[in-house]
Structure 1
């Protein structure tokens, strides 16, 4: 469970690098990790000796069908065979020693299976969202473009920026969306939260016809699908003026026309072009000819030269 080091010596013992999954399991179960050097069985002689006994005495010569049979065989061997033989070093039977010495200091057995976490590295997209387990979670604007570390378990998702915990979210099923309004700039919160009432209020403040036009757009069964069109109407008012757009919206409502493309064409035609100053010099025409060249002669009949 220790990551390999360049030198498998004292440096690996004094500064061990434990993998995150095993370190979390140790913290969850409440035991301490006593590290040993890689490929140095003499550092843990008692542990290695037990491995040989289990391999040769417990499972040696046995026919194990599946994992359940292996567990049943190991429990019976510890309780009825190896556990009742007197140990040559301690002089006590392992089962008796376990019940009288080790059991009183052991922690209670966990009631639930360990929730094995999963790690991934999602990237914050331009729309403030990261995708984890096919669900979307919003992140602050300052993290756009950064790659985070996400820890996923049975009930929660934790996001880290390097070693800093950013947020703990409730895990959502695939297709879910977790949105925090504070992650978005003020001008984008209404669109991120799909706040239809806020958009309608802004349109009413621009003009009566604009408010009525937006109300018609948002009156359908899926109003959030028209949010981009509402945003386009507001953009027309910012570029060409509220008065022009409000007048064109009134004409569009009377004609029952709800196309943003046609509304934009109406607004652009209604905008008066800027007059060209008279003192502006006229560029010379490259192919300019006198009018006499194009005049018809007296003998021309029906548009044909004589």
Structure 2
């Protein structure tokens, strides 16, 4: 019993104070702020996802505010584009951002890209064609650039073999190609380490191991070898 109010605090709270309390607010959605560049494929990258923007912004840097629901692009404080937030690896493309009169130029870039891949190997070229076989092929150009990055890293011969195997399995994924090459590199490294750790048959270490015990005894006694 409270000495001043002459009431039990718990009962007083339940009867008078609790009904006036407001609901507990939800968790604050902390936004992400960054500055991004709009690339030639009409897209900018935010948190590993791609978002399209009108042609006029290609080559320009825009400010971004991204929360769990929306991604907003600003130019000097003026809102120029809004997209729904996409997960990592996702893409949000507004067809209005890709004008029809630019299709010819974009397809010309795509053709050049396929030719570049084919120069490294026929299967690499076919793989690039499969990647770009899309209604909006220029939106897949970054994936082909990643494939070319694998050529620079692992060499054309190994990427050609990986693309050939992947095409046989009808799997078109540069991520899978990268995984295949990485596993092959790890396996090759382990084999090299095992070879280097095994003494050669004609090495001094191997000859010492193969010496007969009697021979070693004769050497210690200074007697001639038999």
TM-score (norm 1): 0.31
* Structure (1 or 2) with the greater strand fraction: 2
Q: Greater relative contact order (Cα 8 A, min sep 6): structure 1 or 2? A: 2
* Structure (1 or 2) with the greater helix fraction: 2
